[in-house]
């Protein structure tokens, strides 16, 4: 089992609210990622990080933002949630020399 944790597992929130999805890993991995996945669909990379104070946008445009102040922590924030943000958000991490990514359980977000 990989040591990467996401909270909450499920979140239902009203439109306009600010939310932060938490992701932590205890493996000391430099690289971390956020993917968005709709039910029955593929994963789309929305953010990634090489290490502390490094963040980049992924291939799928997202209104979310991320920060990487500590190696182990890579939170994702939505300033104003909308129904179009309803999806599953998956966090992953990997070591610098290895592209294999370990995934968390995901956060299923529903915006009503």
Partner 1 sequence: GESVGLHLPTLSVQEGDNSIINCAYSNSASDYFIWYKQESGKGPQFIIDIRSNMDKRQGQRVTVLLNKTVKHLSLQIAATQPGDSAVYFCAENMSGSSYKLIFGSGTRLLVRP
**Identified binder of partner 1 from the candidate list 13, 67, 71, 106, rule CB under 8 A:** 106
CA 48 from centroid of its chain's CA atoms? 9
**Identified binder of partner 1 from the candidate list 19, 24, 29, 31, rule CB under 8 A:** 31
Strand residues in the chain grouped as ranges (E)? 4-7, 10-13, 19-25, 31-37, 43-49, 56-57, 65-66, 76-78, 87-94, 102-103, 107-111
Q: Is 11 in the site for partner 1 (CB under 8 A)?
A: no
For residue 21, give both structure tokens: 């999805």
For the window 63-92, what string marks contact with partner 1 as x by the rule CB under 8 A? -------------------xxxxxx--x-x
Q: Is 48 in the site for partner 1 (CB under 8 A)?
A: yes
Q: Is 60 in the site for partner 1 (CB under 8 A)?
A: no
- Return the residue matching tokens 């359980």: 105
- Residues near partner 1 (CB under 8 A): 31, 33, 35, 38-45, 48, 50, 56, 58-59, 82-87, 90, 92, 99-106
């Amino acid at each position: 089992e990989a040591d990467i944790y996401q909270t909450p597992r499920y979140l239902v929130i009203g439109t306009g609210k600010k939310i932060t999805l938490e992701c932590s890993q205890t493996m000391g991995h430099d690289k971390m990622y956020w993917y968005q996945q709709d039910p029955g669909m593929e994963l789309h990379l929305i953010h990634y990080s090489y290490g502390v104070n490094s963040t980049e946008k992924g291939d799928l445009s997202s209104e979310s933002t991320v920060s990487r102040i500590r190696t182990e922590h890579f939170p994702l924030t939505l300033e104003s949630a909308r129904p179009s943000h309803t999806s599953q958000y998956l966090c992953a991490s990997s070591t610098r020399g290895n592209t294999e990514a370990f995934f968390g359980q995901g956060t299923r977000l529903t915006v009503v």
